[in-house]
Amino acid sequence: FFRMVICVLFMIFLGTQHVGPVIAKSFEPIDNVNLLLITERLLKLTIPVTYTWLIGFYLLFHLFLNFLAELLRFGDRVFYK
């Protein structure tokens, strides 16, 4: 549960500190159809968005589903032994 909270907080941090300001600055180049600045903004977004997707998949498929399996007593830990 603690890792889930940390992942959600890190995703919020990435969104507010890295993705939000870049998107806020990209409205003017889109209105003026400045392809160079639009490309620059997209390249600035690639790393934070990639980390957000990776953390999101880790959060959903590893942490949340394992947490749900433990709550439902579905996790069979001796199956692979």
Q: What's the pLDDT tens digit per position in 25-52?
A: 888 888 888 899 889 999 999 999 999 9
Within 13 Å of residue 75, how many CA atoms lie on the same side as its CB? 11
Contact 45, 19 (CB under 8 A): yes
pTM: 0.75
Q: What's the pLDDT tens digit per position in 7-16?
A: 999 999 999 9
Mean of the per-residue pLDDT values of the chain: 87
